[in-house]
Amino acid sequence: MLPADPAVPDGWSTTGEMRVRLDTDPYLERYAARVRGMSASEIRALFAVASRPEVVSFAGGMPATSALDMEAVESVVARVIRDHGATALQYGGGQGRPELRALLTEVMHHEGVPCHADDLVITVGGQQALDLIARCFLDPGDIVLAEGPTYVGGIGAMTSNQAEVRHVPMDDDGMQVELLEEMLEQLAREGRRAKYVYTIPNHQNPAGVSMSVPRRHRLAELAELHDLMIVEDNPYGLLDFTGVTYPSIRQLVPKRVIYVGTVSKTFAPGVRTGWVAAPRPIRDKLILLREAADLCPSNLTQMIVESWLTTQPWREQIKRFTEVYREKAEIMLGSLASEMPDGVHWTVPGGAFYIWLTVPRGIDTSDLLAKAIAQRVAYVPGRGFYADGSGGDQARLCFSYPEVARIHEGVARLGELLHAELDLVRAVYGDDAPQFRPRHDGPAGGLGG
Amino acid sequence: MLPADPAVPDGWSTTGEMRVRLDTDPYLERYAARVRGMSASEIRALFAVASRPEVVSFAGGMPATSALDMEAVESVVARVIRDHGATALQYGGGQGRPELRALLTEVMHHEGVPCHADDLVITVGGQQALDLIARCFLDPGDIVLAEGPTYVGGIGAMTSNQAEVRHVPMDDDGMQVELLEEMLEQLAREGRRAKYVYTIPNHQNPAGVSMSVPRRHRLAELAELHDLMIVEDNPYGLLDFTGVTYPSIRQLVPKRVIYVGTVSKTFAPGVRTGWVAAPRPIRDKLILLREAADLCPSNLTQMIVESWLTTQPWREQIKRFTEVYREKAEIMLGSLASEMPDGVHWTVPGGAFYIWLTVPRGIDTSDLLAKAIAQRVAYVPGRGFYADGSGGDQARLCFSYPEVARIHEGVARLGELLHAELDLVRAVYGDDAPQFRPRHDGPAGGLGG
């Protein structure tokens, strides 16, 4: 039975004059298996502090919405209500509006990815696409192969559907596809198979690197060879600093790819509009799953995106975003070079939002976060980006959101902290510091992309 | 292996000069168990036709958004962007904005349901709340007890999570709680239990009736007696024609109730804003599930609802909606009385959107739908509202959306059709028409609430 005393908050009990925290949830035995292991990480509480203005936060993967033309957005939303109010405020179809789907194929074409509007399902950002795909394919215990590190929310979508995520290591050229091949062969020997490979080939979150062209071709070949599906998640492809163009995996093996896009980084996350492009039978399942999940996307936000894409210079806006991020990336790279102690390494992003940091043995980035926030700088510890608890010597720095003027300040604070920590590690262990141990911190949450 | 010929569409194959439709999905063996049985119903295709202007559609559960003050809405959305654009377009927290949660507790208070803003999680309409609750509690094979008939999307949320839905019959006083008691006792004898009871106590979708006060008290007692959780779904409570007030189940047994609300029927479905109010430990799980499902609600649509609730006379708007629906209900009831043949029965709604029709033995409402649409009138066949394939002699008529002037016309067309069908049934069977058989039509989809 449930606790009945209304004066005692849930999870607490009174014993005489003392209040003792009981870490038992009175509803625990009622939950489905998929949520029993889910709990908020302590890191979540730290991030609440990290949002204070005195903290330079490299934590949240948030776009610089301040670079948007707000007068243009205001006119766009007012016009949607004025011209199509009754439709915008009504229910819509589960697949999403045909008008928006057609326009999003133009966004894909702008990046060189061919697609037909009928292949698309509109979703609540890219995250819902990842969740619907996971629900479509994953039974408890199924195996998914994903880059290590990879997107926190991608891991969440797969593990909340009780899949086993195995990581394919990365280097500066993205997923090490030759190691993927070994893993596929090992699985075949075990008589098992991966339900799909999850990849973010362009300016990956969190590693900041892109998959090389030869590796893309090899991945496509492996898909044919091992009868494999690939989930290609591409939030960042259009935010490119270098002018290098990569073929999408979808172009190479269209029947094997479920492609995920979003306007969160090229327009605004606040409209919560993403999409999935899939072969038709899969598309049909995704529509049914979507209707069971939340009925239909918002007509209002869909029509705002339509109006943005038809009346505003959206290609120019993407260039403007890209210039902002390129400048911020250069400042952060310069600051890292001048402020970080020896033995700290980082990736050099060719686009988008992220730099991936690796610190010397003996420093645990999860443990360090509280100190960092006390020093008024925040990042995301590496463990959040692995399903297996590894990544304790890594961290994600996101440069997209902080003001240009504060990036050096934040990196300098982190550099100072790492110098001090390394001095301490050397004083205690000499050159023989212990390796960090795999450990689960739980989902970080509230971090945006 | 997948079909490789790009000239042949998915699911088709060429044999010599003939094209033969293969009803096999080449991805079938890859899907998770939860979607293998999911397929779009033929009814879905009929509803595409039903949206043509010459058809009077009583199908979709859509509010009369034309009764909204569009100039007020336009000023509300423009102001949100003008005053808070950067925030409105950015990511937000997974639980939803504290400002909106506080305002929604005022909406609950307006209906007499006490609540604290911390208990709320903002969702994508009520549907996402129902899905998150199902994901939180239901393992494959778990039992849920629900009114029969009940909301299509509620069934979808539960069955897409592989639960077994058993129906508690209804009468004009709502769920027959004495039959629920028998079912609970039967389950206990089998050594099983229901994970929860799903109920829509006010102006139920699709039956149009409300649960009587004594039954609410008895339901609360049974919850305590059988250690039961209750999901109380309340989209329609504020759209009341009669002035009768009912206690919410949440008031009676707060620790046992997960309460679902939405602004879809009191403001607009296009903003896709609902909420769930739950005991704290459950609320925490729902937030984690929500983040895995789609990261966070739209700040933009949340702030539009906030601005609506703080700057506009929302209580007056609800009265205006209610008057519109009351008038439409009266017209439909009058038309049913004058147009329906003997042996057709219907419920008398005390609020909201729906009238539930029962036709004489020998008529199957699923089979009749195509003829009805050919006669330019549409409804939802009863089977969509049962998980067990029953309801073949029933149908939902929704009066909320069609224009007042067309309601009689639509009912007259349906009456004419039923007269003709009954003549046919009597000619063939005399007074001994066969009973319809349980049959699954699959999810109807695209119907709004």
Question: According to the model, what pLDDT value does residue B6 have?
Answer: 38
In a domain, A267, yes or no: yes
In angstroms, the CA A121 to CA A284 distance is 9
A377 and A329, same structural domain?
yes
Q: Report the amino acid identity of residue B215.
A: R
Q: Tell which of A289, A311, A333 closes a domain.
A: A311
| Contact status, residue B360 vs residue B395, Cβ threshold 8 Å | no
Q: Which residues of A touch B227 (CB under 8 A)?
A: 1-2
Of B227, B268, B300, the CB nearest to A270: B300
| Contact status, residue B283 vs residue B254, Cβ threshold 8 Å | no
> 3-state secondary structure string, chain B?
CCCCCCCCCCCEEEECCEEEECCCCCCHHHCCHHHHCCCCCHHHHHHHHHCCCCCEECCCECCCHHHCCHHHHHHHHHHHHHHHHHHHCCCCCCCCCHHHHHHHHHHHHHCCCCCCHHHEEEECHHHHHHHHHHHHHCCCCCEEEEEECCCHHHHHHHHCCCCEEEEEEEECCEECHHHHHHHHHHHHHCCCCEEEEEECCCCCCCCCCCCCHHHHHHHHHHHHHCCCCEEEECCCCCCECCCCCCCCHHHHCHHHEEEEEECCCCCCHHHCCEEEECCHHHHHHHHHHHHHHHCCCCHHHHHHHHHHHHHCCHHHHHHHHHHHHHHHHHHHHHHHHHHCCCCCEECCCCECCEEEEECCCCCCHHHHHHHHHHCCEECEEHHHHCCCCCCCCEEEEECCCCCHHHHHHHHHHHHHHHHHHHHHHHHHHCCCCCCCCCCCCCCCCCCEC
B255 and B121, same structural domain?
yes
* CATH number of the domain encompassing residue A209: 3.40.640.10
A295 and A323, same structural domain?
no
- CB atoms closer than 10 angstroms to residue B216: 23
Question: According to the model, what pLDDT value does residue B440 have?
Answer: 65
A421 and A305, same structural domain?
no
**Could you tell me which residues are beta bridge partners of residue B230?**
B197, B257
Tens digit of each residue's pLDDT (9 = 90 or more) over B219-228: 999 999 999 9
Inspect the interface and report whether the beta carbons of A30 and B300 lie closer than 8 Å.
no
**Could you tell me which residues are beta bridge partners of residue A354?**
A398
Q: Which residues of A touch B276 (CB under 8 A)?
A: none
In angstroms, the CA A287 to CA A380 distance is 34
DSSP A49-70: HHTSTTSEE--SB---GGGS-H
Question: According to the model, what pLDDT value does residue A21 have?
Answer: 43
Inspect the interface and report whether the beta carbons of A288 and B40 lie closer than 8 Å.
yes
- For B96, the closest chain A residue by CA position comes to A446
Question: According to the model, what pLDDT value does residue B23 have?
Answer: 57
| Contact status, residue A146 vs residue A169, Cβ threshold 8 Å | no
Longest C-alpha distance within chain B, in Å?
71
The pLDDT profile of chain B, 449 residues, written as one tens digit per residue, is 444 343 333 333 333 334 444 458 999 999 999 998 788 776 777 777 778 899 999 998 999 999 999 999 999 999 999 999 999 999 999 999 999 999 999 999 999 999 999 999 999 999 999 999 999 999 999 999 999 999 999 999 999 999 999 999 999 999 999 999 999 999 999 999 999 999 999 999 999 999 999 999 999 999 999 999 999 999 999 999 999 889 999 999 999 999 999 999 999 999 999 999 999 999 999 999 999 999 999 999 999 999 999 999 999 999 999 999 999 999 999 999 999 999 999 999 999 999 999 999 999 999 999 999 999 999 999 999 999 999 999 999 999 999 999 999 999 999 999 999 999 999 998 878 877 667 765 544 445 55
A246 and A151, same structural domain?
yes
| Contact status, residue B276 vs residue B259, Cβ threshold 8 Å | yes
Q: ∠ CA B120-B125-B129 to the nearest 5 degrees? A: 55
Q: ∠ CA A318-A323-A325 to the nearest 5 degrees? A: 95
Mean pLDDT of all residues belonging to chain A: 91
B322 and B306, same structural domain?
no
In this model, does residue A444 exceed pLDDT 70?
A: no
Residue range A189-211: mean pLDDT, rounded: 97
B300 and B341, same structural domain?
no
**Could you tell me which residues are beta bridge partners of residue A165?**
A144
**Residue A412, both tokens:** 């300098």
Tens digit of each residue's pLDDT (9 = 90 or more) over A412-424: 999 999 999 999 9
Q: What's the pLDDT band for A6 if we cut at 50, 70, 90?
A: very low
| Residue A98: half-sphere exposure toward Cβ, Cα within 13 Å | 1
- For A298, the closest chain B residue by CA position comes to B270
Inspect the interface and report whether the beta carbons of B136 and A31 lie closer than 8 Å.
yes
Kind and range of the H or E element at A403?
Answer: none
In angstroms, the CA B370 to CA B381 distance is 11
Tens digit of each residue's pLDDT (9 = 90 or more) over A238-277: 999 999 889 999 999 999 999 999 999 999 999 999 999 9
Question: According to the model, what pLDDT value does residue B10 have?
Answer: 39
| Phi, psi (deg, nearest 5) at residue B51 | -85, 0
B185 and B54, same structural domain?
no
Inspect the interface and report whether the beta carbons of A138 and B89 lie closer than 8 Å.
no
In a domain, B12, yes or no: no
In this model, does residue A16 exceed pLDDT 80?
A: no
Of B86, B131, B281, the CB nearest to A26: B281
Q: Tell which of B290, B311, B332 closes a domain.
A: B311
In a domain, A439, yes or no: no
Residue that has been written with the tokens 């949320």 in this structure: B157
Inspect the interface and report whether the beta carbons of A78 and B73 lie closer than 8 Å.
no
Q: Tell which of B311, B330, B358 closes a domain.
A: B311
A282 and A333, same structural domain?
no
Tens digit of each residue's pLDDT (9 = 90 or more) over B116-155: 999 999 999 999 999 999 999 999 999 999 999 999 999 9
A303 and A320, same structural domain?
no
Tens digit of each residue's pLDDT (9 = 90 or more) over B337-355: 999 999 999 999 999 999 9
To test the contact with chain A by mutation, choose from B27, B226, B258 the residue with the greatest count of A C-beta atoms within 10 A, namely: B27
In a domain, A15, yes or no: no
Inspect the interface and report whether the beta carbons of A131 and B280 lie closer than 8 Å.
no
* CATH number of the domain encompassing residue A337: 3.90.1150.10
Tens digit of each residue's pLDDT (9 = 90 or more) over A311-337: 999 999 999 999 999 999 999 999 999
In this model, does residue A398 exceed pLDDT 60?
A: yes
Question: According to the model, what pLDDT value does residue B436 have?
Answer: 64
- A230 SS3 class: strand
Q: Where are the beta strands (DSSP E) in A50-203?
A: 56-57, 120-123, 143-148, 164-171, 174-175, 194-199
Round the CA-based radius of gyration of chain B to a whole number and report it: 23
Residues near B440 by beta carbon (within 8 Å), at least 6 away in sequence: B383, B389
In angstroms, the CA B301 to CA B185 distance is 45
In a domain, B202, yes or no: yes
Tens digit of each residue's pLDDT (9 = 90 or more) over B65-114: 999 999 999 999 999 999 999 999 999 999 999 999 999 999 999 999 99
Q: ∠ CA B130-B136-B137 to the nearest 5 degrees? A: 95
Q: Which residues of A touch B264 (CB under 8 A)?
A: 91
Residue that has been written with the tokens 């009265």 in this structure: B319
B442 dihedral zone (left: phi>0; alpha: psi -120 to 50; beta): left
A125 and A242, same structural domain?
yes
In a domain, A130, yes or no: yes
**Could you tell me which residues are beta bridge partners of residue A346?**
A357
Residue A241 to chain B, least CA–CA distance (Å)? 23
Question: Is the four-CA dihedral A223, A229, A233, A239 of positive or negative sign?
Answer: positive
pTM listed for this prediction: 0.93
| Phi, psi (deg, nearest 5) at residue B383 | -60, -30
In a domain, A220, yes or no: yes
Tens digit of each residue's pLDDT (9 = 90 or more) over A63-76: 999 999 999 999 99
- For B32, the closest chain A residue by CA position comes to A137
Residue range A187-196: mean pLDDT, rounded: 96
In this model, does residue A201 exceed pLDDT 60?
A: yes
Residue A254 to chain B, least CA–CA distance (Å)? 9
Question: According to the model, what pLDDT value does residue B222 have?
Answer: 98
**Residue A78, both tokens:** 């007012």
In angstroms, the CA B112 to CA B245 distance is 9
Q: Which residues of A touch B31 (CB under 8 A)?
A: 136-137, 285
**pLDDT > 70: percent of chain A:** 92
- A136 SS3 class: helix
Predicted ipTM beyond 0.90: yes
Asked, as a colleague might, if the bond just before A247 is cis with ω within 30 of 0, I would say: no
Q: Which residues of A touch B135 (CB under 8 A)?
A: 32, 34-35, 160
Q: Which residues of A touch B443 (CB under 8 A)?
A: 288, 291-292
B235 and B152, same structural domain?
yes
Inspect the interface and report whether the beta carbons of B297 and A272 lie closer than 8 Å.
yes
In this model, does residue A338 exceed pLDDT 80?
A: yes
Q: Which residues of A touch B143 (CB under 8 A)?
A: none
Domain assignment of residue B384, given as a range? 42-68+316-429
Residue A185 to chain B, least CA–CA distance (Å)? 18
| Contact status, residue A134 vs residue A163, Cβ threshold 8 Å | yes
Instruction: Count the domains in chain B.
Output: 2
Question: According to the model, what pLDDT value does residue A23 have?
Answer: 57
In a domain, B27, yes or no: no
